[in-house]
Amino acid sequence: MRAVCWNGPKDIRVESVPDPIIINPRDAIVRIHKTAICGSDLHLYNGYIPMMEKGDILGHEFMGEVVEVGSRIEELRPGDRVVVPFSISCGYCFFCRKELWSLCDNSNPNASAAEKMYGFSGAGLFGYSHLYGGYSGGQAEYVRVPFADVGAMKVPEDLLDEQVLFLSDILPTGYMAAKNCAIKPGDTVAVWGCGPVGQFAIKSAYLLGAGRVIAIDAAPMRLEMAANQGKAETLNYEEVELLEELKERTGGRGPDACIDAVGMEAHGTSLTALYDRAKQAVKLETDRPNVLRQTIESCRKGGTVSIAGVYGGYIDKIPLGIAFAKGLTLKMGQTHVQKFMKPLLERIRKGEIDPTFVITHRLRLQEAPEAYRMFADNKNGCLKVVMKP
């Protein structure tokens, strides 16, 4: 089959590789219909994530059709159309039973490497380095889905491939970010970062009862999308003094909840830095946690800060004293996709949200090297790329 392979930093190639086969009784093989490039794929592209190997197949956002199932899979049959969560979860461990799917104890065969770095390991991830299990990703013609009985969700015929594709990651991620805000009817929610996750956080905040959403970014195209699609008020942080402006717009009190949908792009780097030298980490981390600082500084007393953006290591100068004095609630973490897929599928069916609005580019799998380049360089208004094998 053809697959998108990592060959080194900024070296993505579409190569011919062996087809995946059933290895374990709970596996399924899925023929990919649609797959997307995620912002977090750029950390791999830029070479910031350790334990990548030449030839690793990328991609953790995909959907398609079941073509083969292992002997213990009863829930799925060849021909079923499914969407698959980015994190791999066994369904039966202590954490899976608590619906903390992304913290599964059983799905990372290289847990010891992650334990060395963090003291523990989370779930294995598709197409995201050998640190997270070395699973081949879904930017390919076929993919092996482990624990497919709890990982792959069947999708109804009345929905298009693209309408369900983002249930694999970014829609549940944006939704969980808003859900973590414990929104009360009429609340004001501020969202930092209007990439795809930020866009879905905006939509989700309204779905969960927010009265106002303020979208913060510097890219006019993203702010426009937040205003037109998300019905958010917008704020360009390059044009105003952000903290003052937020105060001004909320009667001097600050937003009820603040969502960090930026994370630390530089924090992909901190993983490596952590791996190498604490000193280097400190140097890398001094300039970028500004979004997290701003959310804490601007949130109203007793409010909630919800972190959806990915953080990798140690960060400094976080104003914990302010968070404590204000009595803030801080919520964060890798998305428990399996928990939110079904409720969100229902919302898509009811027409409450159509996630396809974030797609700016539709390409062939063969064009992946250009797609990565364009996405990484932020060219042609590229917000979200969907590829078809």
Is residue 113 involved in binding Zn ion (CB under 5 A)? no
Is residue 260 involved in binding Zn ion (CB under 5 A)? no
Buried b (16+ CB within 10 A) or exposed e, 24-39: eebbbbbbbbbbbbbb
Nearer to Zn ion, 108 or 163 (CB): 108
Is residue 246 involved in binding Zn ion (CB under 5 A)? no
Among the listed ranges 21-29, 102-110, 154-162, 266-274, the one in contact with Zn ion (CB under 5 A) is 102-110
Give me the least distance between CB of 60 and Zn ion, in Å please.
5
Number of residues that bind Zn ion (CB under 5 A): 9
Give me the least distance between CB of 146 and Zn ion, in Å please.
11
Among the listed ranges 95-103, 132-140, 191-199, 269-277, the one in contact with Zn ion (CB under 5 A) is 95-103
Say what the alpha-carbon torsion angle 282, 283, 286, 291 is, to the nearest 10 degrees: -90
Say what the alpha-carbon torsion angle 142, 146, 151, 155 is, to the nearest 10 degrees: 30
Among the listed ranges 86-94, 127-135, 317-325, 342-350, the one in contact with Zn ion (CB under 5 A) is 86-94
Is residue 27 involved in binding Zn ion (CB under 5 A)? no
Nearer to Zn ion, 59 or 289 (CB): 59
The angle formed by the CA atoms of residues 340, 157 and 226, to the nearest 5 degrees, is 50
Q: Which of 63, 96, 344, 385 binds Zn ion (CB under 5 A)?
A: 96
Is residue 261 involved in binding Zn ion (CB under 5 A)? no
Amino acid letter, 379: K
* Paired residues of 63 in beta bridges: 34, 83
Is residue 385 involved in binding Zn ion (CB under 5 A)? no
List C-alpha distances in Å: 5 to 9, 144, 348, 365, 375: 11, 16, 32, 11, 17
Interatomic CA distance for residues 226 and 216, integer angstroms: 9
**Non-local CB neighbours of 349 within 8 Å, separated by 6+ positions:** 156, 158, 159
Q: Which of 80, 169, 217, 285 binds Zn ion (CB under 5 A)?
A: 169
Give me the least distance between CB of 38 and Zn ion, in Å please.
3
Give me the least distance between CB of 133 and Zn ion, in Å please.
13
Interatomic CA distance for residues 90 and 87, integer angstroms: 10
Is residue 38 involved in binding Zn ion (CB under 5 A)? yes
Burial of 358 (0-12, 13-18, 19+ CB in 10 A): buried
Nearer to Zn ion, 142 or 166 (CB): 166
Nearer to Zn ion, 101 or 192 (CB): 101
Is residue 106 involved in binding Zn ion (CB under 5 A)? yes
Kind and range of the H or E run holding 228: helix 220-228
Among the listed ranges 92-100, 131-139, 150-158, 219-227, the one in contact with Zn ion (CB under 5 A) is 92-100
Task: Decide if 289 contacts 282 (C-beta within 8 A).
Answer: no
Q: Which of 1, 22, 67, 93 binds Zn ion (CB under 5 A)?
A: 93
Interatomic CA distance for residues 17 and 21, integer angstroms: 12
Among the listed ranges 42-50, 162-170, 248-256, 329-337, the one in contact with Zn ion (CB under 5 A) is 162-170
**Non-local CB neighbours of 192 within 8 Å, separated by 6+ positions:** 198, 216, 217, 258, 259, 260, 261, 262, 291, 294, 295
Residue with the shortest CB distance to Zn ion: 38
List residues near Zn ion by CB under 5 A.
38, 40, 89-90, 93, 96, 104, 106, 169
